C-alpha cells in the first residue's frame, strides 16, 4: 500500500509539473517558458520525486519504467500491476486538477499537452517518426535508469542522471510527439482531450512499453555471466 501510494503521488507530481508547465506556462504572454522550460519541468519532477519517494517505491512514475525494470530483473512480477494501476490513477488525478486550473480563466484546454502524430504532432511528424521516437527514447531512458540505479553505480546520483535524461529526451522529442515515453502521462491527457487523442493513444502505450522491454533485456544481458567472459 505504501509503495502504491508513493507511485500515485509521484506520478501525480510528474503530470502536474510536466504537463502543467506545457499547458499553463509554455506560451504564456511575454514570459512563456517554451520548449526548454517544459523539458526542464519534466526533468525536475522526476529529480525531486526520486529523492522524496524513491526510497519508498523506487519512484518509477511510469508503467514503461516498471515493465522495463521487471524485464531487467529489478522488481518482481507481483509489483507490476499494482504499480501501473497507481501510476495511471495518479496521472489522471493530476490531469483533473490541471483541467480545473486551465479552465479557470474561461478558456478551453486546447490540445492539453496530449501526445499525437500527423496533424497532431507539434512538428507535423508522421506515425512512423512517432513510433521510432517513442521506442528509441524510452529504450535509452530505461538504459540510463537501469545503469544509474545499478549497485555498482556511484551512490546518491541516480535521481540527477534520470532527471537530466528525461529533460534531454523532451528536448529531442517534443517537436515530434509532445514526448510521451510514459503511457500513464499519455492516458491522463487523452482522457480529457478525447477524440483524436484517444484514437492515437495506442501508439503511446505500445511503443514506450516495447522500448522499455528491449532495454530491460539488453541490460540483463550486460549483467549476464556470458557478457563478462
Cα separation values, 225 from 219, 222, 228, Å: 12, 8, 5
pLDDT of residue 93 exceeding 60: yes
Strands (E), the chain: none
- The enclosing H or E element of 108 equals none
pTM for the model = 0.92
- Report whether 129 contacts 47 (CB < 8 A): no
Q: Please report the sign of the dihedral spanned by the C-alpha atoms of residue 172, residue 87, residue 95, residue 125.
A: positive
pLDDT value for 208: 98
Cell 508547465, residue located: 21
- State mean pLDDT over 133-144: 97
CATH superfamily ID and name for 2-228: Glycerol uptake facilitator protein. (1.20.1080.10)
Q: Is the pLDDT of residue 29 over 80?
A: no
Among 19, 17, 5, smallest CA distance to 188 is for 19
Please tell me the distance from the alpha carbon of residue 69 to that of residue 219, in angstroms, as a whole number.
Answer: 10
At 161-218, the pLDDT tens digits run: 999 999 999 999 999 999 999 999 999 999 999 999 999 999 999 999 999 999 999 9
Name which of 49, 23, 47 is nearest 168 in CA terms. 47
Assess whether pLDDT exceeds 90 at residue 108: no
Domains of the chain: which residue ranges?
Answer: 2-228
Which carries the bigger pLDDT value, residue 228 or residue 158?
A: 158
Per-residue model confidence (pLDDT) at position 146: 95
Are 65 and 214 in contact by the 8 Å Cβ rule? The answer is no
C-alpha atoms less than 13 angstroms from C-alpha of 182 in its C-beta half-sphere: 28
pLDDT, mean over the chain? 93
Over residues 31-41, the mean pLDDT reads 88
Residue 27: the pLDDT is 75
The number of residues making up the chain comes to 229
Among residues 153, 152, 20, the alpha carbon closest in space to that of 97 is found at 20
Other C-beta atoms within 10 Å of 82: how many?
15
Q: CB-side exposure of 219: number of CA atoms within 13 Å?
A: 25
- Which triple of cell numbers denotes residue 187? 492516458
CA pair distance 74, 41, nearest whole angstrom: 27
> For residues 189 and 197, is the Cβ–Cβ distance under 8 A?
yes
Amino acid at each position: 500500500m505504501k509503495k502504491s501510494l508513493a507511485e500515485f503521488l509521484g506520478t501525480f507530481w510528474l503530470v502536474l509539473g510536466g504537463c502543467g508547465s506545457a499547458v499553463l506556462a509554455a506560451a504564456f504572454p511575454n514570459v512563456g517558458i517554451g520548449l526548454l522550460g517544459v523539458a526542464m519541468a519534466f526533468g525536475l519532477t522526476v529529480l525531486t520525486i526520486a529523492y522524496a519517494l524513491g526510497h519508498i517505491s523506487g519512484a518509477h512514475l511510469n508503467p514503461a519504467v516498471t515493465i522495463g525494470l521487471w524485464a531487467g530483473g529489478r522488481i518482481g512480477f507481483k509489483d507490476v500491476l499494482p504499480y501501473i494501476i497507481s501510476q495511471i490513477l495518479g496521472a489522471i488525478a493530476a490531469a483533473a486538477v490541471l483541467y480545473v486550473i486551465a479552465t479557470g480563466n474561461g478558456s478551453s484546454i486546447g490540445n492539453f499537452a496530449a501526445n499525437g502524430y500527423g496533424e497532431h504532432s507539434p512538428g507535423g511528424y508522421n506515425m512512423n517518426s512517432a513510433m521510432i521516437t517513442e521506442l528509441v527514447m524510452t529504450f535509452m531512458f530505461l538504459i540510463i535508469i537501469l545503469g544509474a540505479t545499478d549497485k555498482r553505480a556511484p551512490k546518491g546520483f541516480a535521481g540527477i542522471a534520470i532527471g537530466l535524461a528525461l529533460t534531454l529526451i523532451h528536448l529531442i522529442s517534443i517537436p515530434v510527439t509532445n514526448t510521451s515515453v510514459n503511457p500513464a502521462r499519455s492516458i491522463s491527457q487523452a482522457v480529457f482531450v478525447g477524440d483524436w487523442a484517444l484514437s492515437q493513444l495506442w501508439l503511446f502505450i505500445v511503443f514506450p512499453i516495447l522500448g522499455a522491454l528491449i532495454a530491460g533485456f539488453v541490460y540483463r544481458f550486460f549483467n549476464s555471466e556470458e557478457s563478462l567472459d
